[in-house]
Amino acid sequence: MKKLFICNFLMLSALSGFGQMKLIKRMLSEDMDTTRKASFMPLPFLRYSQEVGMEFGVGALYSTYLDKEDPLNRSSNFATILSVSTKKQYNVTFKGDIWTKNNDYHIIADLRMRSTPFDFFGIGNQTLEANKDRVVQHQIRTGFDVEKNIFPFAYTGVSIGFERNTFRDVTPGGIIDTDPRVLDKTGGSVAFLGLSQTYDTRNSNNYPTRGFFGRISYQYAPEIFGKEDFSGSQIRVVLKNFWPLAKKLVLGVNGIYYTVQGNDVPFYMLPQMGNEDIMRGYYAGRYRDENLMAAQAELRYRFSNRFGVAFFAGGGRVFQNGDFSLKQFKPSWGGGMRYFFDPAKGLSVRADYGIGEKRPNEVRQSGFYLSLAEAF
């Protein structure tokens, strides 16, 4: 009986090892799957901070084609993030980027529900680390955009959105309480109706190697929740262009401009500088104001179907209306690795390290990012 148990154990171990080797071999294979089948990539994560405690969860990206017979049909991507912490914080995010048959319609949808602490530094382009104030945010946000192809490469669309935020200062008396520019300190609600226009000649929506993308959107928030909540407008402009410099080398550039206009703009509606896509190296929300302008260039070298590297550099700043100056642009630079889990679609997992400015009497700002899909 003992011998039988040992034989079974060894057999199962061998089969398990064989299965693992087969999986590893498939994940490292240089073969391109041209069957246009769906793909799925999970990305587990685990981190700890004193404020949140132990946080654990999973991110995932599912990609498919709504018309597998059409080689020009762009891939539709669905992403999710689910996380909880030992101190009862949570983050639930769903995003969809859908291209219908013949690419006639482009649909963008997202839903976020989260309860999380963050550091608030004040408003403006010169906030100080010494003013850091811990705030807890509870948020529900959703948005839905539909764009219709009206002539080659051009899409016209409409959008709706809703956002509800509540805030609590962990230590009363911080800058969120004392700064007179901080409006709606405890939160509020806002609903948007909008229009958009897009022009897109990229050869891929996941890993483009040539082409141009430009999008301008306007959203208006009517006064439907009362005078205490935001009423006004926001405009977003996004520009991208890609040039193939060699067979495996691509140069991409990306520029953005966001502005929020209204009589009394809540602090949580102000554009924030710094995230995993642009101005990498800055804590999200370290700088926020009525306007945000930023640009970056990224050199991408895909030395195999599965792996690549990227190097990026750029600059940006936030500013009040009428207070724009090129002298106060903040730098951002760094690099990272890419693993393409679906080489045919150009879908990747990226690990980037970004570096920002060094302010007097402060450590240099920087950040590490582990994300699904390219930055732009």
pLDDT tens by residue, 223-239 = 887 777 788 999 999 99
User: Measured between alpha carbons, how far is 27 from 30 in angstroms, rounded to an integer?
Assistant: 9
Please tell me the predicted confidence (pLDDT) of residue 33.
65
> Quick one: what percent of the chain has pLDDT higher than 90?
77
- 48 or 168: which carries more pLDDT confidence? 168
Q: What mean pLDDT, rounded, does the chain reach?
A: 90
For range 106-122, the mean pLDDT: 95
Provide the b/e sequence for 148-182 (b: ≥16 CB within 10 Å).
ebeeeeebebebebebbbebebeeeebbbeebeeb
Sign, CA dihedral 203-158-93-231, equals positive
List the chain domain ranges. Answer: 94-372
Q: What is the pLDDT of residue 70?
A: 94
Global pTM value? 0.87
Q: Cα dist. 54→51, 59, 117, 216, 371 in Å?
A: 9, 16, 13, 40, 20
Lowest mean pLDDT among 43-52, 121-130, 143-152, 309-318: 43-52
Percent of the chain surpassing pLDDT 70: 88
pLDDT of residue 18: 55
248-283: pLDDT as tens digits: 999 999 999 999 999 889 999 999 999 999 999 999
Task: Read off the pLDDT of each residue in 328-345 and give the average, rounded to a whole number.
Answer: 95
Q: How many Cβ atoms are within 10 Å of 298's Cβ, its own excluded?
A: 21
Cα–Cα distance between 147 and 206 in angstroms, integer?
Answer: 18
H/E stretch holding 372: strand 366-372
**pLDDT tens track for 25-81:** 666 677 666 778 899 999 887 666 555 667 889 989 999 999 999 999 999 999 999
pLDDT at 321: 93
Contact 155, 321 (CB under 8 A): no
What gap in Å lies between CA 57 and CA 81, rounded to an integer?
8
- 187-207 pLDDT, tens digit each: 999 999 999 999 999 999 999
Say if residue 6's pLDDT is above 90.
no
DSSP label at residue 186: T
Q: What pLDDT does 16 receive?
A: 56
CATH 3.40.640.10 fits 94-372, yes or no: no
